[in-house]
Amino acid sequence: MYNRGRRAELAEKLREMLPGLDLVVDAPMSEHTSFHIGGPADILATPGDEDSLRRLLLWADKAAVPLTVIGRGTNLLVRDQGLRGLVVRVGRGLDRADVNDGTISAGAGLALVELSKLAASRGLDGLAFACGIPGSLGGALVMNAGAYDGEMKDVVERVEVMRPDGTRAWLSKGDLDFSHRHSALQGGGLLALRAELALRPGERSAIEARMAEFDRLRAEKQPLEWPSAGSVFRRPQGHHVGPLITEAGMRGARVGGAQVSEKHAGFIVNRGEATAADVMELIERIRAAVRARFDVDLAPEIRIVGEG
Ligand SMILES: Cc1cc2nc3c(=O)[nH]c(=O)nc-3n(C[C@H](O)[C@H](O)[C@H](O)COP(=O)(O)OP(=O)(O)OC[C@H]3O[C@@H](n4cnc5c(N)ncnc54)[C@H](O)[C@@H]3O)c2cc1C
């Protein structure tokens, strides 16, 4: 961990370089993740435009300051000692969307829910599945987010990325190597900046009716009343995670403040004061139980970052 003086010095340099930058020193990640868990980020910056983003990346690269990029923090477990170096949040300011016939070009900071509503309002079909996924477009591209009848790979044409040195490139759908909750953007050191999505014409009322049905199903099946990071595990081939966990006897199991949801066993919920260590311990217990009962290895879907 950088000491207090070093953190203040780095923040000072950034404030000189980018006056007006939204920047917080020792930002508790529990306030920036849907799990409400996680130690402090040394520096959390939310760039308000693309040029500030480029300069931040370049600065971190040159100064060899560790960099973590986040969106809305809805698929993240941040460990209890937090994140070292610079955390860049891609959100407000990088969330512009332009609609052109059947194509939407949107910034990675746009909330997926908003993007889904925008598409429906313009009579464009293909993003109804995304109406209840609480992340950003950037996070959805990285995770190939999906639900019900669709996933990002069905609509993405190409993605513009920023490299650590601030240069940019377009990646085509083929380059992105999408598969179940996976894309080439995972762990590749590239920041997703914007995407072009190809949608098909549809009837607004019919699309919105499907979205309302998806919302109803989600509220019925998912523990939305508790903080979580969505489904914890990827779906193993030929199985469904919830039934595996239930039949392995782990539904409702608890470690500290972390609990396997009674409503949907694929979710771990924060019942109050859960720590990342509680969640990690519970994940290991679930994996061991499922392995012992079914000889199936569950791999986490959530992204686990930071120091433990
Ligand atoms: C209640 C609930 C329900 C959910 N339901 C679903 C669902 O139905 N389907 C589904 O797929 N997911 C679901 N999720 C998980 C989550 O919403 C998605 O994975 C979402 O796409 C994550 O987006 P985010 O902006 O929150 O990303 P974050 O959690 O902030 O980040 C996720 C990963 O992406 C990286 N990242 C984020 N933005 C960028 C960027 N611009 N450039 C490069 N890397 C980036 C991060 O480093 C991290 O590795 C759910 C979560 C919750 C809490």
Q: Give tens-digit pLDDT for 161-200.
A: 999 999 999 999 999 999 999 999 998 899 999 999 999 9
Name the catalytic one among 30, 116, 231, 261: 231
Give the closest residue to 185 by CA, choosing from 50, 14, 46, 71.
Answer: 71
Asked whether residue 213 is domain-assigned, the answer is no
Distance CA 130, CA 128 (A): 5
Which whole number is the average pLDDT over 106-113? 98
Q: Examine the fold and report which residue of 180, 206, 232 is the final residue of a domain before the chain moves on.
A: 206
- Residue ranges of alpha helices (H) inside the chain are 4-17, 50-62, 112-121, 137-143, 173-176, 204-221, 241-247, 276-294
Distance CA 181, CA 265 (A): 19
Name the catalytic one among 79, 181, 194, 210: 181
Distance CA 183, CA 214 (A): 24
Asked whether residue 212 is domain-assigned, the answer is no
The 3-state DSSP class for residue 266 equals coil
Q: Examine the fold and report which residue of 45, 64, 89 is the final residue of a domain before the chain moves on.
A: 89
Task: Kindly state whether residues 187 and 236 are assigned to the same domain.
Answer: no
Average pLDDT, the chain: 96
Q: Give tens-digit pLDDT for 3-38.
A: 888 899 999 999 999 999 999 999 999 999 999 999
Q: How confident is the model at residue 109 (pLDDT cuts 50, 70, 90)?
A: very high
Number of domains in the chain: 3
Structure-token pair, residue 176: 């992105």
Q: Give tens-digit pLDDT for 204-227.
A: 999 999 999 999 999 999 999 999
Identity at 42, one-letter amino acid code: D
| C-alpha distance from residue 23 to each of 18, 88, 90, 188, 281 (Å) | 10, 9, 13, 25, 33
Give 302 Cα–ligand 1 centroid separation in angstroms. 8
Task: Kindly state whether residues 236 and 299 are assigned to the same domain.
Answer: yes
* Ligand 1 in reach of 108 Cβ (< 6 A): yes
Q: Examine the fold and report which residue of 178, 206, 234 is the final residue of a domain before the chain moves on.
A: 206
CATH number at residue 194: 3.30.465.10
pLDDT over 90, % of the chain: 96
User: What was the pLDDT predicted at 2?
Assistant: 76
Give 75 Cα–ligand 1 centroid separation in angstroms. 4
Task: Kindly state whether residues 186 and 110 are assigned to the same domain.
Answer: yes
User: What was the pLDDT predicted at 187?
Assistant: 86
Compute the 3-state secondary structure of the chain and give helix, strand, coil in percent, each to the nearest 5. Answer: 35, 30, 40
* Res 149 pLDDT > 90: no
Give 301 Cα–ligand 1 centroid separation in angstroms. 10
Task: Kindly state whether residues 139 and 230 are assigned to the same domain.
Answer: no
Task: Kindly state whether residues 74 and 133 are assigned to the same domain.
Answer: no
121 flagged as catalytic? no
* Res 1 pLDDT > 80: no
Q: Give tens-digit pLDDT for 111-125.
A: 999 999 999 999 999
Structure-token pair, residue 99: 């609609």
Q: Provide the whole-model pTM.
A: 0.97
CB 221 within 8 Å of CB 228: no
CATH number at residue 234: 3.90.78.10
Give the closest residue to 52 by CA, choosing from 20, 100, 84.
Answer: 20
* Ligand 1 in reach of 142 Cβ (< 6 A): yes
* Ligand 1 in reach of 75 Cβ (< 6 A): yes
Give the closest residue to 83 by CA, choosing from 103, 62, 67, 104.
Answer: 67
Give 5 Cα–ligand 1 centroid separation in angstroms. 33
Domain with 244 in it? 223-305
CATH number at residue 72: 3.30.43.10
How many other C-beta atoms can be found within 10 angstroms of the C-beta atom of residue 86?
24
User: What was the pLDDT predicted at 112?
Assistant: 98
